[in-house]
Structure formats: structure tokens, C-alpha cells
Structure 1
Amino acid sequence: MKRFFSCLALSFFVAAISSTAFAQVQVGFRGGANFGIVSTPSVLDGLSSTIKPSPGFTGALFLEVPLSDRISFRPELAYVQKGFMVRESFDLNLSVINLPIGASVAYQSQDLEVPLLLKFNLTDGAVQPYFIAGPAVSYAVNGRIRTRGTGLFRTQPIDIDLNYGGALNRWDISGVVGAGLAFDAGAGKVFGEVRYQHGFSRQVQVPVLNLNVRNRGVAVSLGYSFPIGN
């Protein structure tokens, strides 16, 4: 798996080195928010806890290498905050009044990611709608579990660092699909983009228990790209 990740990263830099051989190669950056969540394992079906998206930052540097008039290869080197949030709440009956009591638990990981995408431009002109699709591989550099009390009073968060290895998987292979709209802006392009990421790697490996926990996420980004080379 590590060799696979290294090959993906190497392809990004090989494309960068050879980019001057292509006309209208674009280099760019994007930044925005990722709303991470996970698939719900069946063991939680009978519980009242609610799994909700965990918002976090995402950003990337990328190249856009034309393969034809409408199709480009877009390797990225990205940072993504993934995770999910679990909320539990109930009322404490004190006869005279019901006190709302609850807690939230957020799992958050800081991932380095290499998406290898194809970009399909639908039209030419000053405004260009497009689609993107392709695989991605990511590595969780670190992670934490953040807990806090909610309800009538909101407590200060308590953070617990995660130890990867064993039950927790650092690696994640996923598929990415998305759509965007680019606008001419001087020599470059300004764009807005929405993408969905569907993880295929099981994130929790526990003997006996079948915990089908896989990453999911929706990211919204704004960015800018400009031509380099000839």
C-alpha cells in the first residue's frame, strides 16, 4: 500500500517536471470545506445516537494537463480533514422541569491525499462547466477524538489523540466525482467546485465484529488556475 501511495505521489511530480512539454498546462490551487461522514455499521442500527457530518478544511495544489480539446488529466496534492460526529441527547426529568442533557463526540483525521482525476470540459468560452472523476489515495497523518457536553450547558472540549495501527487504518482508497464552473479571469481561471468522495477502505479492523466503517464526504471549494510553459 505504501508503494502504491508513493507511485501516485511520484506521478504528480513527474507530471510537474514534464509540464513544459505541453501547451496550456495549468497549475492551480483550491481551498474550501469538507463535510466528512462515514457509512453506518449495522451494529449501531438499534441505538438512538445520530451520526452527523463533521466539517473541516480542505485544500490542494494541482496540475491540469490537456489530453484533448475537452479532456484533461488533473493530479492533485491535497490536505483533507475527514471524520464524523455522533450526538446523543436525552431529557432528565426532575418532576418540575425537564433538563436537556447530551454529548457530542467528533472523530477527526488530518489526511494527505493524492487524487488522480480526469476533467471533462463541457463547453468553451468565458464560462466553462465541467465534470471531474477518478481515484484517490490518502494517508492519515494524525487524528483525534473530541468530546464535549451539550444540552443546557456546553462544556469545554476534551481531545484524545488517536494511535493508528492495529484497529485503526491510516490508508484510504476512494473514488471522487464532482462538477464545477470555471470563469476566465485575466490570464487564468477562477472556479467553484463541488465533489463527492466515496471511500472503499474499511477504517476500523476489529476481529469478530464486522464494522463496515468507510469514509464519505462532500467538499465545496473555490480556486484559481493559470497557464505555465509554452
Structure 2
Amino acid sequence: MTISSRSVLPVAALMILALTCADAKALSVVDAGMKVGVAQTRMTFADYGRFDGCPGLAAGLFLTVELADRLAVQPQALYVRRGGAYRDQANDPWGLLYGVDMAEFRLDYLEIPVLLRYDLLTDRAWMPVLLVGPAWGRLLSARYVENDGSDAGWLRHHDWALQVGAGLEKRTSGATWSLELLYRHALTGIAKGPPPPTTEVDGLSLMAGFGF
């Protein structure tokens, strides 16, 4: 499935509309807190296949601002580690990646998702929620090893993604507990050009949150 950067425009327009329609005086911070979990990476090279992803740490802070009944926006600031490994298993002596028998990468990002949240079944002890929104990532550090050498100079310093997912939230006296599963689809590649090869980093993240 291919999703271009234009796909984020309807989501951005929806968020702007929600902010515009919301009464500024009625906006309120529902909770703030921290999240921690794991991110599973899927890295794809066009025409060559995928790296075997490995789990990495995902952790950071969040803020939930109520826009209307059941509708809120949740900006986050997260540290996310993504990584993977490639082992040539092709019959072609040159391998799927030309001249590459082994490659590993580790990317550390500051990621800032801004998610629109809709609450379902608010009368349940664990309330289901839906989440969707854009995420901007800034590369903090990178390690890319190919065969016997390393070179991370081909990586972009930032990227964009669309995040879609769902979760469960439980509110108690003075605290909020949550569990979320999000799918991240890359809207931009991580490789420099021109023209850049299609190198995208997608994945899943499972995170537990505590708010107060």
C-alpha cells in the first residue's frame, strides 16, 4: 500500500476544523503524563525487499486537550529507537542489495505526533479510544553498518508519518491509565537524493501511559 504525503492533508484539515469549531474558552487540559513502550520497525527498500525489524524503546510525554464532548487532541514528544538487519539470502551472487551481504541500522528519533482522539463507550471502565494524526520525526543519532564498513551520511535528518490506532483508557481518582497500539506509515523516505531511493520506515508501537 502506498500513501503519499497528500494523504495527511485531510487529517490535518480535520484537526484544524476541530480546533476552529471548538470554543476557545471551553478548551481544557484533561491530563498530562508519560508513556513508555516498544516500537517494532519495518524498513523497506524499493525493489529489494525488507529488513528484519527489531524492537526498540519508545518513551516520552503527552498532553491531552479536550476540544468537545468525546473529542480531544493529544500532542506528544517521544524518544523512539528503530532498527533492523539485512542478511543476503538470494541466489544471485550479488544479492538483493547490490554488493551487500549484511547490513544493520539503528536510528534514534525525537518524534512529535499530534493525534486527534475520539472517545467511544464512555460509560465503560476501560474506555475505547480512536487515534489518528501526523507525526514529525527528527533524527538524533544514527548507526548504519554495511558489510565491513559504516556510513550514515545517506540518511535524512527528519521525516513525516501518519499514525493510526486505537487504545483503552481507565480513569481513576487523580490518575489516568492507558494502553495504545498505533500503526506508523511513512509519508517520506529516510534517504537523501537526488533522486532518493524509496527507503521507508513503517512499524507498530505498543505503549502504556500514565496521566495525572
1:82 Cα deviation (Å)? 2.0
1:23 Cα deviation (Å)? 4.1
Q: Distance in 1 between matches of 2:122 and 2:184?
A: 27
| 1:186 maps onto 2:173 in alignment | yes
Q: Which residue of 2 aligns with 1:140?
A: 139
Q: Which residue of 1 aligns with 2:120?
A: 122
Q: Distance in 2 between matches of 1:161 and 1:211?
A: 16
Aligned residues: 178
Deviations 1:120-166 (A, max 9, x none): 11121322000110001111011112579xxxxxxxxx894734xxx
TM-score (structure 1 length as normaliser): 0.69
Q: Distance in 2 between matches of 1:183 and 1:147?
A: 46
Amino acid of the structure 2 residue aligned with 1:143 = A
Amino acid of the structure 2 residue aligned with 1:215 = V
Structure number with greater Rg is 1
| 1:32 maps onto 2:52 in alignment | no
Amino acid of the structure 2 residue aligned with 1:117 = L
Amino acid of the structure 2 residue aligned with 1:115 = P
Q: Which residue of 2 aligns with 1:131?
A: 130
Q: Distance in 2 between matches of 1:203 and 1:24?
A: 34
SS of residue paired to 1:65: strand
1:88 Cα deviation (Å)? 3.2
Q: Distance in 1 between matches of 2:144 and 2:45?
A: 18
Q: Distance in 2 between matches of 1:159 and 1:185?
A: 53
For the 8 Å contact 1:83–1:215, the answer to whether it is kept is no
| 1:211 maps onto 2:197 in alignment | yes
Q: Distance in 2 between matches of 1:187 and 1:159?
A: 52
1:23–1:52 distance in 2 versus 1, CA, 3 Å: same
Q: Which residue of 1 aligns with 2:70?
A: 70
Name the % identity: 25
- Gapped runs of 5+ residues in structure 1? 1-19, 91-102, 149-157
For the 8 Å contact 1:32–1:220, the answer to whether it is kept is yes
1:104 Cα deviation (Å)? 5.4
- Gapped runs of 5+ residues in structure 2? 1-24, 91-100
Q: Which residue of 1 aligns with 2:152?
A: 162
For the 8 Å contact 1:85–1:105, the answer to whether it is kept is yes
Deviations 1:152-196 (A, max 9, x none): xxxxxx894734xxx321110111111101123332121111001
Amino acid of the structure 2 residue aligned with 1:124 = T
SS of residue paired to 2:45: coil
SS of residue paired to 1:62: strand
Alignment RMSD: 2.7
For the 8 Å contact 1:118–1:134, the answer to whether it is kept is yes
